[in-house]
Structure 1
């Protein structure tokens, strides 16, 4: 049982690693796109609404795919002034409680509403309201659902690891 649960945690951690890599690739693409867009606008006086919207979409990908990666690497927001003084056992209990009572319920709520949000966009063939903007808005909206599903999974992984540290899975 313990080995299976830890393997499940390892698989989730691997997914978060890949999500982080995808977010990092989006950050590189975003930087290159901004340089290109700014060059075209200020040197050649040519702008593109679609490119500017694509910049926002890539920024969304950077942020959203970085969520589970940040949780995996413990780089999320926390009151470290207090947390640093706690014992490892207390830290594990706080980790479990925060995942089960805050992160997972909030992320599931966002997934719940995000699925309808994305589906409605798909069914309406939602496009940018700006002339020359991007089509298929449901793609970027689906990033919300995917990112928060990954966050729920990573929160489960963090809970498993905290339980293991407490000796509950030994």
Structure 2
């Protein structure tokens, strides 16, 4: 029993590590985004030169930052919840709420988004969709595929949080899971 428990905890921490790297990628995208905005604004207001591709790249970097930050926020417990109620719960009840939230809301929502995004991304790939604006970016399916990637990472992180909550719940009740 102990060996199976350790396997689930190791898998959970491997998922955490993956989402740590996803979060770092999102953080790097934020630095690139800030530099790109400074450059783009300087070019527009000082030199009166603009670029549709640069503006679209700003949107794409923001998308990457936001989407990769979803699972990272869940990993670090920085997501939205009603803390005014949650802080008053016992630790045992908090773990039960965490498990139910992941299993009944986060994972099903993530699966729905992945399911409905699949055709959206596939159609974009088949059509080799690009920007409708002149001078815009090509390969719009690349950024659209980040929706699927982000929600797969979110599902994995929700599973990781569920495993850890079960483990903590077992320890609160005086034994292993």
Band the TM-score falls in, shorter-chain normalisation? over 0.9
Please report how far the alpha carbon of residue 53 of structure 1 lies from its aligned counterpart in structure 2 after TM superposition: 0.3
Normalising by structure 2, what TM-score? 0.95
Please report how far the alpha carbon of residue 146 of structure 1 lies from its aligned counterpart in structure 2 after TM superposition: 0.2
1:105 and 2:108 correspond = yes
Normalising by structure 1, what TM-score? 0.98
Please report how far the alpha carbon of residue 116 of structure 1 lies from its aligned counterpart in structure 2 after TM superposition: 1.1
Q: 1:4-153 counterparts in 2 under 5 A?
A: 4-153=7-156
Could you say which residue in structure 2 is the equivalent of 1:157?
Answer: 160
User: 1:7-49: per-residue Cα shift (whole Å, max 9, x none)?
Assistant: 0000000011001000000000000000000000000000000
Please report how far the alpha carbon of residue 103 of structure 1 lies from its aligned counterpart in structure 2 after TM superposition: 0.3
Quick one: distance in 1 between partners of 2:162 and 2:112? 19
SS at the partner of 2:14?
helix
Unaligned runs of 5+ in 1: none
Please report how far the alpha carbon of residue 111 of structure 1 lies from its aligned counterpart in structure 2 after TM superposition: 0.5
- Aligned-residue Cα RMSD (Å) equals 0.8
User: 1:24-77: per-residue Cα shift (whole Å, max 9, x none)?
Assistant: 000000000000000000000000000000000000000000000000000000
